[in-house]
Amino acid sequence: MRRCSSLFVLVLVSAFSAGSVHALDKVDPYICPTQTQGSGIDCFLEAVPQTYTMCRHIKSIEIIEFGLAGAQEGVNGAKTEYCIDKHKILIVRPYQAALREAARSKEEVQGVRQLYDAWLDSLAKLTPGADETDEGYKQRVVRPYADFNERIKAIRALADVPAKAAPAAKKAPASKGKKTSP
C-alpha cells in the first residue's frame, strides 16, 4: 500500500510540475541554435530556414552521390525523406509556441501559419524534377530563402507592434461638495 501511495504522489507531482514546463524546454538546439532560450516565435523563425538548409544539404549530398536523375531512384532519397520527417516532428514545439505567442493578432497567427505552410511546401519540392538541369535545380532550391526572409520580416514587424491598448477606463466624476475627513 505504501508503494502505491508513493507512486500516486509521484504521478501528482509530475502532473503539477508538467504545467510549469515552458514550450521551448524540450526544443532541440540543433534546430534553434541561438534561440532555444528565446521566445517561441524567435525559435520558430530561426528553425524554418535552419531545418530547410539541413535537408537541402542532405539532398545535395544525394545528388553528388547518385546524380540528379538518380537521387530519387530506389532508396537513394531516403536520407532526405528521413530529414524532412525528423524536422516535421522537431519543429512542432516551436511552431505551437509561436502560434500561442502570436494569438494576440490574427495577422501574426496567419503569418506564422503561412510561413509553416511555405516551409512544408519547400521541403516537398527538394526532389529534382525529371527534366530539370543541375543549374535550374540549384536556383530553384535557393528561392525559398527569399520567401522565408520576407515572411519572417513581416511576422517580426507584426510582433513589434504593441498589442491594441485596452480602452481607457472612464474616470469617476470628482465628487462635488464637502470633503470628508478620515
pLDDT in tens, 14-39: 333 333 335 466 677 788 888 767 78
What b/e readout covers 118-145, taking b as 16+ CB neighbours within 10 angstroms?
bbeebbeebbbeeeeeeeebeeebeebe
Q: Is 92 exposed, middle or buried (0-12, 13-18, 19+ CB in 10 A)?
A: exposed
**Choice between 177 and 61, residue whose per-residue pLDDT is larger:** 61
Tens-place pLDDT, residues 68-122: 989 988 899 999 999 999 999 999 999 999 999 998 899 999 999 999 999 999 9
Please state whether 181 falls in left (phi above 0), alpha (psi between -120 and 50) or beta.
beta
**8 A C-beta contact, residue 149 and residue 81:** no
